[in-house]
Structure 1
Amino acid sequence: MLRPRFFTAQTLRPGLSLALEKDPSRHIAKALRMREGDSLCLFDGSGIEAHAEVTSVEKGQVLVQVQDVSDPTRESPLYSVLIIALSRGDRMDTIVQKATELGVNEIWPIISERTGVRLDSKRLAKKRDHWQRIAVSACEQCGRNRLPTVAIPMSYSEALQGAMEQDDSLRLILHPDGNSQPLPESCGRLTLLVGPEGGFSSAEVSAATEAGFDALQLGPRILRTETAPIAGLAAAQARWGDLSL
């Protein structure tokens, strides 16, 4: 039987006794109703995974003792950065969750010309924290031991500038009018740019091209903004990463 997995921001080492944070403590105590002596799995986001045992459950505070640690390899050889325009509703939640499961390393939310979401800086920071928690939860579920980072939403120009600073990255912008030129046989780092519901403007596509992005069409059908990044990442992982058919 698989042990429940939880993230902790505390450094893990054998023999360590620690009090888990509020969220995992609440889930362990109230949802799973775990008790003293029960086993669980912890990871700290650095690649370390630990087998631990519950030593106390009192008033929602869970204490555990680390039994042993390991560093299993579950990260893809493809380092991927997803630049994604903000979406309405819970679409971004879905994108962050599924992209994490597919091994994305960084997610850069952006505000483009046709982005339908307009929030002030305070609310954008809260949104970023919310998406980071979703990434944590996805890692707990899928077995990843390294957390992807979710950036505070930035402007389109800031994202292009950041992408240009990654000299060794293959840069692709998903676009229905993209070409079908052959992709390289190998790729160690990918930056994938995906637009909002209304797509990128022609000026934005031109700016991306000037920043070194190649326009890529995934297929004959136009994919929704929450489908395109997942399809793109899955295709990239199948070609250059660790997904196999």
Structure 2
Amino acid sequence: MRTNRIYVDAEFIVGSPLELPPAQTRHLSQVLRLGTGDPLVLFNGDGRDYAARLLESGRHAAKVVIEAGGEPEPIAPLRIHLAIGISRGERMDFALQKAVELGVQRLTPLFTKRSQVKLDGTRLDKRTEHWRGVVVSACEQSGRRRIPILDKAEPLEAWLETQSSGGLLLDPAAPIALPDLDAPNGDLALLIGPEGGLSPGERGLACARGFRGVRLGPRILRTETAPLAAIAVIQALWGDFRGA
């Protein structure tokens, strides 16, 4: 039996009713077609799932009762921070969605010299809100009970200024492969460029801030494929794939 799992930005109190926001109400009634008495699972990002049941269900209003709180999500052995050059349309959505499913804790979209997407002001705010929706939806699907941090997009140079401990830079020309590295100590920043990769100058800046170039294999991967392959390898080597 499928579990219907919904994110709601609200405080949950076991035994108390909760009126759902309009977006979740529409999703329950028009997409999932749930009715009064149906069970569902809610989460709000505090690290737990909450069993709930629909008290009222309609096109314009829905109310649930919180029945029980679940166990907290285990703390990840490796906290992965993905910083990725902004790519066009669905490529960026795909990369963020799958990175969340694979367990990253933080995401930072970056403007780089080869980024083909220009965003500022209201357009950037709208795109950031869209990306947050992608992140939340990926958590709903994958069972994550904590929402990864999504930073507002910023220029690569500005972001590098805040990175004192370095990290890994995906570079198909690097002499070192991921499995050749020692295990990181708790935190790992992973930097990946947009379509066309980072410029030589940007790679130089990253290396000057302590980033180390690593390769995945003999092939050059697309910007939406590279982070997924890298994160999967990282999780298998040092992260929570080892205990799966």
Question: What TM-score do the two structures reach when normalised by structure 1?
Answer: 0.94
Q: What's 1:213 paired with?
A: 211
The code of the aligned residue for 1:152 comes to K
The code of the aligned residue for 1:180 comes to I
Count of aligned pairs between the two proteins: 241
Q: Does 1:76 align with 2:98?
A: no
Q: What's 1:171 paired with?
A: 167
Q: 1:74 to 1:142 in 2, by over 3 A?
A: farther
- What is the deviation of 1:123? 0.7
Helix, strand or coil at the partner of 1:184 = coil
Q: Is the 8 A contact 1:86 1:196 kept in 2?
A: yes
Q: What's 1:31 paired with?
A: 31
Equivalent runs, 1:60-139 vs 2, <5 Å: 60-74=60-74, 76-139=76-139
- What is the deviation of 1:196? 1.2
Q: Find the aligned partners of 1:148 and 1:163 in 2 and give their Cα distance.
A: 19
Q: What's 1:204 paired with?
A: 202
- What is the deviation of 1:186? 4.6
Question: What TM-score do the two structures reach when normalised by structure 2?
Answer: 0.94
Q: Is the 8 A contact 1:12 1:48 kept in 2?
A: no
Per-residue deviation, residues 85-113 of structure 1 (Å, max 9, x unmatched): 01012111101110010011111000011
Q: What's 2:151 paired with?
A: 151
Q: 1:206 to 1:173 in 2, by over 3 A?
A: same
Q: What's 1:58 paired with?
A: 58
Q: Find the aligned partners of 1:132 and 1:192 in 2 and give their Cα distance.
A: 20
* Residue segments in structure 2 that go unaligned for 5+ positions in a row: none
Q: Find the aligned partners of 2:24 and 2:77 in 1 and give their Cα distance.
A: 30
Q: Is the 8 A contact 1:106 1:149 kept in 2?
A: yes
Q: What's 2:222 paired with?
A: 224
- What is the deviation of 1:83? 0.4
- What is the deviation of 1:18? 0.6
- What is the deviation of 1:74? 4.9
Helix, strand or coil at the partner of 2:158 = helix
Helix, strand or coil at the partner of 2:45 = coil
Q: Is the 8 A contact 2:73 2:146 kept in 1?
A: no
Per-residue deviation, residues 171-198 of structure 1 (Å, max 9, x unmatched): 0000111121631135311100000111
RMSD: 1.5
Deviant stretches of 4+, over 3 Å? none
Q: What's 1:235 paired with?
A: 233
Q: Is the 8 A contact 1:188 1:240 kept in 2?
A: no
